[in-house]
Structure 1
Amino acid sequence: MSILNAIFRYEGKEELINLEDISKREDYELVKENLFCSFEGCYCPLQYIAKGAISEYLKRRIGELHNESCTYFTLPNLTGHSRRIVGTSSSILRDDHVASILRGLYDVYTETTDEREVRLKRGRENARVRRNNKIDKSKSEKDVEEVYVNKATTSSEGESLVEGERNPPVRRRYSLLDLSDIDIGQTEGIIGELVSIVNNEKRTILELTDRLNKITLYVYLEEVFFDNSPVNIDTSLKVLSEIVNKGKKIYVSCVGEVVYRDDKLGMLLLREKDLRINRVPVIIFIHQFNE
């Protein structure tokens, strides 16, 4: 995927710059050495490649990695060799990992400026550690590394992770505007503000909007969701709808499959445990609201 813009970060100041404008800058030499990924939560340093035979472009610097939730993230190649995908599978995310993703989405979405700076500083320190990882060059550069890709899912049809096996990576979308057609069919984490709820028998639709109210996204809770959730989940969703109608600001974070329905992107949820309201499960949020 082409990177079309970047963050120019220098001496505590930040500026979003489009790819085609980089070469036009008077401070071009300074800018091109201080470019970073513009995706929310990712601080991967970028390298600007000037226009040549084809066109100018941006790429991550050698030894750097995008954040796993970044739209430009690719599986890291720590050997320096060519890679060939020889197979794929889907593994069920562990419940504690899903809970961590949901809490993290809310924390980043609602953080203060100071909290954001602390998080970015911690991320930069972690990036330095990754840069120091040694590349295995024991094999010939012509060797091809065979890779088996394990995708994330919350469906019971996926494989269970064995003890010691890592959860597959899950992209976090801190803005609904970051979703695109390439996400369809992928299990990802999203967050948005709850606008309305439509409740029917064993079918509910949550309408979310982004921070700027530019787009809406529907989260679908269908029969499989109710079968995999506590028996009182339908009552909880009706109460939640009443709270929304009272004007309470509510943020919904969830992990599910990105789908395309009625000419729009949406998300399909399969379990109540993949849904959080203002950082907590639905029933806990209702209890806190009524206190």
Structure 2
Amino acid sequence: MRIQKVLYKRDDSIEEINLNEIESRDDIELIKRNLFCAFGGCSAKMEYVPRGVRVAHFRTWPKVDHTEDCKDFFKREEKRKSKKNLATTSARLTDKHISNVLKNLIKYTNETEEQKRLRLEKQRKRYKEKKSQIVDTTTNSLNVLPTTDKSISGNVENPKEPPVKKRYSISDLNEEDLNTAIAIHDNILSIKIEVNRVVILLGKDKLKLNVFFEEDFFATAAKNIMNMFEVVNDALEQKQQLTLDCVGNVEKRNDDLSIVVTGQNHIRINQKTIERFTFEYSNPNYK
């Protein structure tokens, strides 16, 4: 049974938190680090898993046990030693792969509850959920991290491109995403346009994230790309609600997580390429 509520403990205060309200909290980052089991007498640490290809849910923190009388207690299977990677390397994502990632990100973002339910039912038929996982240690593997850094070549030893994590809100972003490419979706709050540099601010209320478009982006972008950003900014100033879907590398700037985008084809404005969005906005009567 899915865990519906947990306790948020900080200093001397204790507050019940449920799945329906956690995303709307301005202090969600602080909350996520201080969640515990809501069953009386159990102090097991919990974690919030945001909506991805599965619905959002709470789960027990890795390697933490509930008390035996807790309703969420489960007995762990004995684990073998986790396999150790021989090495960690990065593989640059192709534009084709990034387009497919953005297509799926937009598709899942627009799912109705019924579509989501049907998809999850199909997934449950393919996979049987386990509360613990036994890892086979007979082979070692190469840990391949996705990146959009143009200085990184494709991974020759493992030609299959690595999976890209999808974040359906900036609140889903975390420190584990650092130095990897992720796909993210959220509302555009503002656009700052400078010479060969654009910064799009995503989020809401106190929760915000900067997306940077800099030298690598403009090196291969269309010559009129700045005009396109000006059109997007005009739409924003006309109070249009705009969303950004993009794939980029997660970096830390001024102690804040941020996204760096390196390709024009790596972004979607209101689910469209920026060139398509600007054309339709500039030609409202075109059919």
The TM-score normalised by the length of structure 1 is 0.70
Q: Could you say what secondary structure the match of 2:151 adopts?
A: coil
AA aligned to 1:278 is N
1:101 alignment partner in structure 2: 101
How far apart in 2 are the matches of 1:90 and 1:57? Answer: 39
Q: How does 1:143-162 map to 2 (within 5 A)?
A: 144-161=138-155
How far apart in 2 are the matches of 1:112 and 1:269? Answer: 29
Please tell me whether residue 171 in structure 1 is matched to residue 155 in structure 2. Answer: no
| CA distance 1:165–1:37, shift in 2 (3 Å) | farther
| CA distance 1:88–1:263, shift in 2 (3 Å) | closer
Give 1:226 deviation, angstroms: 0.5
Q: How does 1:249-268 map to 2 (within 5 A)?
A: 249-268=241-260
AA aligned to 1:189 is A
1:30 alignment partner in structure 2: none
Moved more, 178-187 or 198-207: 178-187
AA aligned to 1:124 is R
Cα RMSD after superposing both structures: 3.6
AA aligned to 2:103 is R
Instruction: Give the counterpart of 2:65 among 24, 34, 49.
Output: 49
Instruction: Give the counterpart of 2:183 among 189, 199, 202.
Output: 189
Q: How does 1:57-206 map to 2 (within 5 A)?
A: 82-128=82-128, 144-161=138-155, 165-206=159-200
| CA distance 1:202–1:84, shift in 2 (3 Å) | same
2:269 alignment partner in structure 1: 277
| CA distance 1:136–1:201, shift in 2 (3 Å) | closer
2:50 alignment partner in structure 1: 39
Give 1:233 deviation, angstroms: 1.1
Preserved contact between residue 3 and residue 58 of structure 2 (Cα < 8 Å): no
Give 1:288 deviation, angstroms: 2.4
Give 1:259 deviation, angstroms: 1.4
| CA distance 1:46–1:193, shift in 2 (3 Å) | closer
How far apart in 2 are the matches of 1:46 and 1:219? Answer: 30
Q: Could you say what secondary structure the match of 1:167 adopts?
A: coil
Give 1:232 deviation, angstroms: 1.6
Q: Could you say what secondary structure the match of 1:21 adopts?
A: coil
Preserved contact between residue 16 and residue 38 of structure 1 (Cα < 8 Å): no
Give 1:217 deviation, angstroms: 0.7
How far apart in 2 are the matches of 1:161 and 1:258? Answer: 20
Give 1:136 deviation, angstroms: 9.8
| CA distance 1:90–1:201, shift in 2 (3 Å) | same
Please tell me whether residue 228 in structure 1 is matched to residue 220 in structure 2. Answer: yes
Give 1:106 deviation, angstroms: 2.4
AA aligned to 2:66 is A
| CA distance 1:85–1:202, shift in 2 (3 Å) | same
The TM-score normalised by the length of structure 2 is 0.71
How far apart in 1 are the matches of 2:73 and 2:260? Answer: 34
Preserved contact between residue 102 and residue 255 of structure 1 (Cα < 8 Å): yes
How far apart in 2 are the matches of 1:125 and 1:90? Answer: 33
How far apart in 1 are the matches of 2:226 and 2:148? Answer: 20
What stretches of structure 1 of length at least 5 have no aligned partner? 1-5, 10-14, 26-34, 63-76, 138-142
How far apart in 1 are the matches of 2:38 and 2:157? Answer: 50
Give 1:57 deviation, angstroms: 9.5
| CA distance 1:58–1:274, shift in 2 (3 Å) | farther
Q: Could you say what secondary structure the match of 2:141 adopts?
A: strand
How far apart in 2 are the matches of 1:145 and 1:81? Answer: 12
Count of residue pairs brought into register by the alignment: 242
Preserved contact between residue 166 and residue 183 of structure 2 (Cα < 8 Å): yes
How far apart in 2 are the matches of 1:20 and 1:266? Answer: 31
Give 1:161 deviation, angstroms: 5.0
| CA distance 1:125–1:163, shift in 2 (3 Å) | farther
AA aligned to 2:65 is I
Preserved contact between residue 244 and residue 270 of structure 2 (Cα < 8 Å): yes
